[in-house]
Amino acid sequence: MGNGESSYRRFIDGDEGAFGEILDMYSENLIFFINRYVGNVAVAQELSEDVFVEILLHKRRYNFKTSLKTYLFTIGRNKAVSYLRRCARRPECAYEYIENESDRKNLEDEFIRKERERELHRAINTLNDDYKTVLHLIYFEDMSYEQAATVMKKNKKQIENLVYRARQALKKELEREARLP
Amino acid sequence: MKSREEYTASIYAKRDAILKKRKKAAGGIAAALCIALSFCTAAAVMPKMMKKSAPKETAAQTTVAIIESPENTEGEILVTYLESYIRPMPEYSEEKVGGEGENFVDDAGAPENRIENEEWGNKQFAHHVTKAVTEIALETVIGEDALGEPSVTKKPSSVGEYTDEEILKAAENCLTDAEKKAVEGTEPMVTVTRTKGGEESYGIMYIAGDTKIKIILNAENLEFISKSGGIVSEGTTAALPYMTTPAYNPQGE
C-alpha cells in the first residue's frame, strides 16, 4: 500500500487536507484513463469529479483490500461505462461537453513526454475498448494483472488473454503505421 | 482544463448539491410517511367515531321517538308490540331486616341479601329458598363469588352463651315422662356441632343400658331441632311369636 492509502486513512479521520493529497495523486491519471473510454477530456474531467464526489459521500466504502488507485479506477470505469450507455440512448449528450483540442493536447503532453510513447498512445487509441483499457492499465498505470482484472471486472486469465490479443493488435497497428509514408 | 482549485471546488459543489437533494428527498419521504400515517390513523379511528356518533337506540328511546311522532299509527302498533316484550323488572325495597351484612326483602317478602363483592366492586343478590337457609342468611352473609360459587361468611359462634344447666334443662324438656324415667340418674353427654353454613347445635345424648336418646338443640336459642333413639327394654327387643292365620274352625271353638 502506498501513500494514497495512508492519505485516505487520514481523510477518513477527518483530515480534509488528505483529500487534497488524494486529488493531487490520482486526479490526472484518472482523467486520462476515463478519457480512453469517452474520448473527451471535458467529459473525462466531469466523470473524474463524480468519482471523487463518491469518495466524499461514502468515505467508508473503501475497505483497503485493493490499492486506492485500483479502487478509484474501478469507479472511474463504471462512471465512464454508464456515461457511454447513457449517451447511446440519448445521442445529444455527447454534445453537452465540447472538447477543447488544447485540453486534449495538454493532457497528452502531461502524461506522454516521450515521442515513442505518443506513438504508442495514438496506436492504442485505434484499438477496441477492452484492448485500450487493458494496455493503458498495464503500460501507462503500471498495474498488475490482478489490479487490471479488478478494474475491468474480469479474472486474471481473461486479462492475460486480453493483453496477449491487445499486443498482437497493437503490433499490427504499429506495423501498419510504420508502413505509412 | 479546469485548474486545481476549480476542480476541487467543483467536486465539493457537486457533493453539496447531492446532499441537499437527499435531504429534500428525505423530507419528502418523511412528509409522505406522515400523511400515510395520518391516513392509517384516520382509517383506524373513523369507524369507532362513526359508531359513537350513531349510538344504538334502546327500546325505550325507540318508544319515545315513536310516541312523539303525532300521526304515526303504525308506530303505535309497534309500541304496543314492543311493550309486550318489556317484562317488569323485580324491584327490591331496601328495607333492612337486621343481622350482619345488608339484608333486604323483596316485594314478595322473601329475604334478600345484598352482598358487596369487594373484588368486583358491585352488589350481588342472592335468593334463599329454604327456611333454614333463610334463617341462617339473616345473620350470615351468603352470596356468590365472582365465579358464581356460594360464598359464606360464618357468623360468630353462639357456644358459651348458655350454661350447661340451661342446656340440660332445655334437653330434659324435650323428653317424655317415660324417657325421663328411663334415663334418670345417667350423666348425659353433650356435643357441639357447627355446620358449614354456620349453624351450631348441641347434641345431648342420654345412655341408659340399651336406651339411647339424642336430643339436638339450637345452640343459639336452645330450641328443639330433633330427637332420635328411644327407650329400649327387653320386651321390646324380644321376638314376637309367629302370627299365622287362625285355623279354620267352623264351629267357633
Q: β-strands B224-230, B92-93: how paired?
A: unpaired
Q: Which residue has the higher pLDDT, A95 or B159?
A: B159
Interatomic CA distance for residues B170 and A168, integer angstroms: 138
Q: How many domains does chain B have?
A: 4
Provide the percentage of residues in chain A whose pLDDT is more than 90. 23
Cβ neighbours around A114 below 10 Å, total: 8
Q: Which of B114, B131, B153 is the last residue of a domain?
A: B153
Determine, yes or no, domain membership for B110.
yes
B48 near A CB under 8 A: no
Element at B21 (helix H, strand E): helix B4-53
A49 near B CB under 8 A: yes
How confident is the model over B77-96, as pLDDT tens digits? 555 555 555 554 544 444 44
Same-domain pairing of B172 and B233: yes
- Under the banding of pLDDT at 50, 70 and 90, the label for residue A126 is confident
Residue from B180, B190, B216 nearest B201 by CA = B216
Q: Name the residue of chain A whose CA is nearest to B22's CA.
A: A57
pLDDT at A63: 86
C-alpha cell recorded at residue A75: 469507479
Q: Which amino acid is at B74?
A: E
Interatomic CA distance for residues A62 and A5, integer angstroms: 10
Q: Which domain holds residue B208?
A: 164-237
Q: Which of B102, B120, B153 is the last residue of a domain?
A: B153
Asked whether the predicted pLDDT for residue B121 surpasses 90, the reply is: no
Determine, yes or no, domain membership for B248.
no
Q: Which residue has the higher pLDDT, B206 or B101?
A: B206
**A99-110: b (≥16 Cβ within 10 Å) or e:** beeebbeebbee
How confident is the model over B40-54, as pLDDT tens digits? 676 666 666 665 554
Interatomic CA distance for residues B140 and A73, integer angstroms: 97
Mean pLDDT for A161-167 is: 91
Q: Name the residue of chain A whose CA is nearest to B7's CA.
A: A49
Task: Report how far Cα B110 is from the mean position of its chain's Cα atoms.
Answer: 16
Determine, yes or no, domain membership for B247.
no
CATH of the domain at B205: 3.10.450
Same-domain pairing of B149 and B112: yes
pLDDT at B167: 86
DSSP letter, residue A92: G
Determine, yes or no, domain membership for B249.
no
Determine, yes or no, domain membership for B253.
no
Q: β-strands B92-93, B102-106: how paired?
A: antiparallel
Break chain A into its structural domains and give their ranges: 1-111, 113-181
Contacts of A49 in chain B (CB under 8 A): 7, 10-11, 14
What helix, strand, coil percent values describe chain B, rounded to 5? 40, 25, 40
B3 near A CB under 8 A: no
Determine, yes or no, domain membership for B243.
no
Q: For A113-181, CATH number?
A: 1.10.10.10
pLDDT at B194: 74
C-alpha cell recorded at residue B166: 340451661
A window 113-172, beta carbon within 8 A of B: none
How confident is the model over B144-197, as pLDDT tens digits? 555 555 555 555 667 777 888 888 888 888 888 888 888 888 888 888 887 766
Task: Please give the CATH topology (third level) of the domain spanning A1-111.
Answer: Rna Polymerase Sigma Factor; Chain: A (1.10.1740)
Torsional sign, CA B160, B165, B166, B172: positive
Q: Which of B106, B133, B153 is the last residue of a domain?
A: B153
Interface residue of A52, A102, A111 to substitute, partner B, most B CBs within 10 Å = A52
Same-domain pairing of B37 and B61: no
How confident is the model over B202-250, as pLDDT tens digits? 888 888 888 888 899 888 888 888 888 888 765 555 455 555 555 566 6
Asked whether the predicted pLDDT for residue A175 surpasses 80, the reply is: yes
Q: Which residue has the higher pLDDT, B36 or B143?
A: B36
Determine, yes or no, domain membership for B170.
yes
pLDDT at A100: 62
